[in-house]
Amino acid sequence: MAEETVVELRGVRKAFGATLAVDGVDFSVATGEVCAIVGQNGAGKSTLMAILAGALRADAGTMWLGGAPYRPADPLGARTAGVAMIHQELSIAPHLSVAENILLGMEPTRLGVGLIRRDEMRRIASAALARLGHAEIVLDDPAGSLSPAGQQVVEIARALAVGCRVLVLDEPTSSLTRTDTERLFSVIRELKRSGHAIIYISHFIEEVKAIADRIVVLRDGKLAGGGPAASLSAQEIVRLMVGRSVETLYPRSPRARGEAILELSDFGPSRATFALHRGEIIGIAGLLGAGRTRFLRSLFGLEPVRRGRVRVAAYTGPAPPHERWRQGMGFLSEDRKEEGLASALSIADNMTLTRLEGLGPGPFILPRRQQRAALGWMERLSIRARSPRQAVSELSGGNQQKVAMARLLHHDVDVFVLDEPTRGIDVGSKAQIYELIDALVAEASMPRPKAVLMVSSYLPELLGLCDRIAVMCRGALGQPRRVDEGLTEHDLMLQATGAGDAA
């Protein structure tokens, strides 16, 4: 049970120029409590936590830690006071050992000499790992050799080693498997039992409800509501986050199924056989590792194909990616950071790099034409950025995903191949992506409806958007089934686990 309040914020306000990022927020967390903060990108979550962790100074408001005034000068001051934040992008020194990472910057030394007391360092590091139930992690192993989940445990152990009382976890499961997520939850529950106050930030509503005691919702920099996690439904949380009911989250415009534009017969390792039509969305469900991403990559020419037949519009046979673009197929990768976007380039460059025709005379590109084209897509997709010349790496995850979608729209492809199109983005951005996907296949779509083939790990998303869904299990893809014939999450999960076949 939660006991006394450990950290409290009152009337916290922070502006960046004319933009009010946090507007008079009140917030508190008690000992032995897991408090989740949810909200869209731009809702103020990161800014509020950056203030708490000492990375930013508030323009107004007060903070208390353990009943005493709290105003850290920097992140080190916050850690020393007992507030530690673990970011989505882990700050591990991969070449150093686990023990050295845990005590990094806080190494015990011999008085007046400066030599590191390695026995003491190992004792402290070992004790921190043992408290987290991970004594099996070898202290002398390079931290870079650990899995993402193991590296996360090392970061949490680092926080415990300095006497952390308040632990902030920012999107801690974004790169974890389901098994690793359960292990992380076990660590969080252990910290809770030991009296730590935990602030948990996540886009995954089901995950938040599973681990949090209380949920706080921010919208447009203000407190939109919240309450005990057990009493808040997922629908109510979404309504607070986006300002509208969940029933409108998955739009479904009138659709008219047209000619088959993609046909597969015994294709690839999954032995896929189906046809995708204009005005139709086919979804692919399945567990992690079932082969869904490999199937899409093979289809787009990113992986070799050794069997089967494929037809894209009037073109038959396998083809490399540049040919797929010419044939009218576009691919959206699940990995925005490493593969989906050129992070060093601008928004305009990312949107137009696959189709430069019309942006200048001959082989040349006129910056004004390129920026004008990009600005049109930015306005249509409500991409929040300073200008088309801004680096795409500076945008939020949701806006980056819109840039990646805009590239396919700019290229004017007919077949949209989307791998986890809403992974790692907030509910508000998801709603905008859903509206865009629905508009692609709508009967009134310009000038002819497109066709969408999408992979998603989130079953409500597939059921809400798709006309038909196929399930992949152990590398084999089943036949697509119509959603309007009563298909349920239970049915999909039975197929994904192979239990449907057994039954």
- Whether residues 348 and 372 share a domain: the answer is yes
Nearest CA among 220, 172, 154, 176 for reference residue 36: 172
**What confidence score (pLDDT) does residue 460 get?**
85
Give the angle subtended at the CA of 460 by the CAs of 456 and 466, to the nearest 5°. Answer: 65
Contact, 84 vs 159, CB < 8 A? yes
- Whether residues 91 and 119 share a domain: the answer is yes
**What confidence score (pLDDT) does residue 410 get?**
93
How many helices (H) and strands (E) in the chain?
17, 21
What CA–CA distance (Å, rounded) separates 335 from 175?
11
Examine residue 384 and state whether it is found in any structural domain, yes or no.
no
- Total domains present in the chain: 3
Token pair, residue 499, equals 């239990």
Examine residue 253 and state whether it is found in any structural domain, yes or no.
no
**What confidence score (pLDDT) does residue 203 get?**
75
Q: 167 by DSSP, 3-state: which? A: strand
Nearest CA among 94, 92, 102 for reference residue 142: 94
The pLDDT tens digits of the residues spanning 359-381 come to 888 778 888 899 999 999 998 88
Token pair, residue 293, equals 């991403």
Examine residue 135 and state whether it is found in any structural domain, yes or no.
yes
The pLDDT tens digits of the residues spanning 408-437 come to 999 999 999 999 998 877 777 788 889 999
- Whether residues 93 and 129 share a domain: the answer is yes
The DSSP bridge pattern shows strands 315-316 and 329-332 to be unpaired
Which helix (H) or strand (E) segment holds residue 193: the answer is: helix 178-193
Cα Rg of the chain, angstroms:
25
Q: 103 by DSSP, 3-state: which? A: coil
Examine residue 333 and state whether it is found in any structural domain, yes or no.
no
Choose one of 248, 278, 301: the last residue of a domain.
248
- Whether residues 81 and 139 share a domain: the answer is yes
- Whether residues 281 and 243 share a domain: the answer is no
Positions of the chain with pLDDT under 70: 1-3, 18-19, 41-42, 111-114, 174-175, 244-248, 446, 499-503
Terminal alpha carbon distance of the chain = 43
**What confidence score (pLDDT) does residue 482 get?**
96
Q: From residue 64, how far is each of 12, 27, 218, 444, 445 by CA, in Å?
A: 12, 11, 20, 56, 54
Q: Calculate what percentage of the chain has a pLDDT beyond 90.
A: 47
Choose one of 248, 274, 299: the last residue of a domain.
248
What CA–CA distance (Å, rounded) separates 163 from 84?
9
Which helix (H) or strand (E) segment holds residue 162: the answer is: none
Handedness of CA 370, 371, 372, 373 (dihedral sign): positive
Q: Calculate what percentage of the chain has a pLDDT beyond 70.
A: 95
Examine residue 254 and state whether it is found in any structural domain, yes or no.
no
**What confidence score (pLDDT) does residue 289 get?**
78
Nearest CA among 138, 139, 441, 383 for reference residue 374: 383
Question: Secondary structure of 221-290 in the HEC alphabet?
Answer: CEEEEEEEHHHCCHHHHHHHHHCCCHHHCCCCCCCCCCCEEEEEEEECCCCEEEEEECCEEEEEEECCCC
Choose one of 248, 278, 300: the last residue of a domain.
248
Q: How far is CA 472 from the centre of its chain?
A: 22
The reply to whether the predicted model has a pTM over 0.95 is no
Residue 18, judged by CB atoms within 10 A of its CB (0-12, 13-18, 19+), counts as exposed
- Whether residues 401 and 421 share a domain: the answer is no
Contact, 196 vs 164, CB < 8 A? yes
- Whether residues 129 and 182 share a domain: the answer is yes
Residue 286 pairs with which residues in a beta bridge? 472
Residue 222 pairs with which residues in a beta bridge? 219
- Whether residues 152 and 227 share a domain: the answer is yes
Examine residue 425 and state whether it is found in any structural domain, yes or no.
yes
Examine residue 223 and state whether it is found in any structural domain, yes or no.
yes
293: domain CATH number is 3.40.50.300
Q: 318 by DSSP, 3-state: which? A: coil
Handedness of CA 64, 67, 68, 74 (dihedral sign): negative
- Domain extent for 394: 342-379+390-406
- Whether residues 315 and 427 share a domain: the answer is yes
Examine residue 334 and state whether it is found in any structural domain, yes or no.
no
- Whether residues 29 and 143 share a domain: the answer is yes
Token pair, residue 232, equals 């808040």
- Whether residues 60 and 99 share a domain: the answer is yes
- Whether residues 243 and 273 share a domain: the answer is no
Q: How far is CA 424 from the centre of its chain?
A: 1
